[in-house]
A and B are shown apart, each in its own frame.
Chain A
Amino acid sequence: DQQVKQNSPSLSVQEGRISILNCDYTNSMFDYFLWYKKYPAEGPTFLISISSIKDKNEDGRFTVFLNKSAKHLSLHIVPSQPGDSAVYFCAARSAGTYKYIFGTGTRLKVLA
């Protein structure tokens, strides 16, 4: 039973346009959500996070939106750059625990 789902395995976006990566979850006990970015042959690197008490968090070109009623999380990258091409994982943590549940990832390709 996959508690964190990224239903789009891949996404292609033109340079300069907006990239929107989506993530759905099923567990209402998740209290923290994170996005990681992964380049080939490297470990994931932390990108941005959001607490369940917020609905938006912004950091430069990256914004994460949380819709708790829909159990939906999205990452917006604007403007997209070729260097953003990577696999993006969303992850969630249950309140009071240290376990993180990761989605299967979305491969983003930003076309120059």
Chain B
Amino acid sequence: GAGVSQSPSNKVTEKGKDVELRCDPISGHTALYWYRQSLGQGLEFLIYFQGNSAPDKSGLPSDRFSAERTGGSVSTLTIQRTQQEDSAVYLCASSFRDTSYEQYFGPGTRLTVT
């Protein structure tokens, strides 16, 4: 079956522009996570969606970051007025339920802000 997919795979943008990153989770997975991996760092939790519950946005680094999940499936992470420090690989993961320890990751979107 299809795994988690993310698009685009690479994105280069100019400082100050807005970007949208997309995640298609595995069908039937109710939990969806966004992470960020900056150079030389571990995976940094950004936001978590579970079913129809309000998302946990506690990991979003600033109000320039937002995310939504439509119909309990596809999710979009939006970064407004991008800054150079936003350059990182953005990873999406989904799992069957929020207590599942196994998350399935997408290949990530490499964002470069010039």
Tell me if A100 and B103 are in contact (CB < 8 A).
yes
Partner of A104, one of B35, B41, B48, B107: B41
As a 0/1 sequence over residues 65 to 78 of chain A, the CB contacts with chain B under 8 angstroms (1 = contact) are: 00000000000000
Residue count of chain A within 8 Å CB distance of chain B: 24
Interface range on chain B: under 10, 10 to 19, 20 to 34, or 35 or more?
20 to 34
CB distance from B8 to the nearest CB of A (A): 13
Tell me if A43 and B106 are in contact (CB < 8 A).
yes
Tell me if B42 and A105 are in contact (CB < 8 A).
yes
Given the complex of chains A and B, what is the CA–CA distance between A31 and B33 in angstroms?
19
Partner of A46, one of B41, B99, B102, B106: B102
Is B93 engaged at the interface, CB distance under 8 Å to the other chain? yes
Binding site for B on A (CB under 8 A): 2, 4, 6, 32, 34, 36, 41-46, 49, 89, 91, 93, 98-105
9 example contacts (A-B, Cβ-Cβ < 8 A) are as follows A6-B42, A44-B43, A44-B105, A45-B105, A46-B102, A98-B98, A101-B42, A102-B43, A104-B41
